[in-house]
Amino acid sequence: MTFHFARRIEHAPASFLGELFRVSADPSIISFAGGLPSSALIDTEGIAEAAKEVFTTDPEVALQYSTTDGYRPLREYIAERYRKRLGIPATADEIQIVNGSQQCLDLFAKIFINPGDRVGMERPGYLGAIEAFSLYEPAFAAVPLDSEGPDPAAFEAMTKKTPVKFFYGIPNSQNPSGCTYSQDRRKAIAECLEGTDTVFYEDDAFGELFFDGKPRLPVKHYLPEQSVISGSFSKITAPGMRIGWMYAPKEILAAFNTAKQAADLHSNFLCQQILARYLATHDLDTHIKKIVAVYGRQCRLMCDLFDDLMPALSHTTPEGGMFLTAKLPAGMPAMDVFRKGIDKKVAVLPGMPFFVDGGGDDTIRLNFSSSDEEKIKEGMNRLASVVNRHS
């Protein structure tokens, strides 16, 4: 028999990521290609304690079905953290718990995108978002990033043309570029969108991971009723529990909740309870300081090694997050660097899948969170042997 799949899946962009990750699974390879937070910085003992407490308190409730919106104390914690950390007036009623912020991408696209609708993206844009949105068959409008954020003229031109349903961006330590929007650019974006029907979707996976420990005001501060923020515990607690959230105006959240219920009823309740207990009994700020200190050192080391060992390449210098992007010199395609890197036992991610309209084959993305300093030194030396022989 022949399976007649839906158009959305037949047109899904052919992913070379599967093969790429299979190739880089070889344990002798030092991989800068993935996107894992550091396993060594997961507070396994603290989470184990919290789990033990949940199992000794009310396990019948934690293991039973629950409500779609999520565990109320966890939503209260998230809302309170927005109020205290960023001074924005979030309430638990504006928070929906999801399976990591990836699920926000799927459900938000589901409630907003009709086939052919225009969606604004950064160029380069986050691969996970491109994959999630693509299944709803939008037309992408890509706005190039400069060192302060989306190019203002291109952003304005996008909003003036056929309306964009929403613009999706990562203002804090963007993936893949590592760039952070300036405050002026955030204000300018908000001003440009005000009075239009375009929603600003801020993916804030990395806002807690600034090396200077200082929060940046979100676009939502300037555009409260017309923007949403997705967040995640994956980078500040543990990704394996798959807990993230959507913070959105109530009208959007009502539609989002309908989609969430149809998608999987609710997120795993046991882990929501473990996480809420962990956050109530452990100081998240202290833990984040540890993460940030390590990632900051690893990032600086990687940047320094680029400058010392591979002067032909330019690179971004992130203020936080987990990724940076390097630009390859002319005549050095990213796929060549990837393939020869694998031969030398180092993996980097070619830039192409981050570009919805072609290009990116002169860039590579590197992750600096999951490799310790020793591995970064060894891996960057391996990469230099590829790049310098090549150039």
CA 335 to chain centroid, in Å, comes to 23
Q: How far apart are CA 195 and CA 198, in angstroms?
A: 9
> Strand 30-31 and strand 139-146: pairing?
unpaired
> Smallest distance, Å, CB 47 to its own copies?
6
> Smallest distance, Å, CB 319 to its own copies?
24
32: its two tokens: 């800068």
> Smallest distance, Å, CB 386 to its own copies?
27
3-state secondary structure of 315: strand
Options 217, 270, 284, 301; binder of its own copies; rule CB under 8 A: 270
> Smallest distance, Å, CB 297 to its own copies?
20
Q: How far apart are CA 64 and CA 226, in angstroms?
A: 36
Options 73, 239, 329, 359; binder of its own copies; rule CB under 8 A: 239
Q: Does 284 bind its own copies (CB under 8 A)?
A: no
For residues 221 and 300, which CB has a smaller minimum distance to its own copies in the complex?
A: 221
Q: Does 197 bind its own copies (CB under 8 A)?
A: yes
Q: Which amino acid is at 1?
A: M
> Strand 166-169 and strand 149-150: pairing?
unpaired
* Radius of gyration of the chain from its Cα atoms, rounded to whole angstroms: 21
Options 118, 165, 185, 277; binder of its own copies; rule CB under 8 A: 165
260: its two tokens: 């969430």
Q: Does 6 bind its own copies (CB under 8 A)?
A: yes
Options 81, 92, 128, 221; binder of its own copies; rule CB under 8 A: 128
Site for its own copies in 207-236 (CB under 8 A): 225-226, 234
Whose CA is closest to 64, among 76, 54, 74, 75? 54
Q: Does 47 bind its own copies (CB under 8 A)?
A: yes
Q: Does 306 bind its own copies (CB under 8 A)?
A: no
Q: Does 52 bind its own copies (CB under 8 A)?
A: yes
Options 24, 70, 78, 100; binder of its own copies; rule CB under 8 A: 100
Q: Does 269 bind its own copies (CB under 8 A)?
A: yes
Q: How far apart are CA 229 and CA 81, in angstroms?
A: 13
Options 20, 29, 33, 51; binder of its own copies; rule CB under 8 A: 51
54: its two tokens: 């949940």
Q: Does 106 bind its own copies (CB under 8 A)?
A: yes
192: its two tokens: 């440009």
Number of residues interacting with its own copies: please give it, by CB under 8 A.
81
Q: Does 33 bind its own copies (CB under 8 A)?
A: no
Could you tell me the end-to-end alpha-carbon distance of the chain, in angstroms, rounded to an integer?
51
Q: Does 199 bind its own copies (CB under 8 A)?
A: yes
Q: Does 19 bind its own copies (CB under 8 A)?
A: no
Q: How far apart are CA 380 and CA 298, in angstroms?
A: 12
For residues 7 and 389, which CB has a smaller minimum distance to its own copies in the complex?
A: 7
> Smallest distance, Å, CB 389 to its own copies?
33
Q: How far apart are CA 375 and CA 381, in angstroms?
A: 10
Q: Which residue in the block uniquely carries the two structure tokens 């699974």?
A: 25
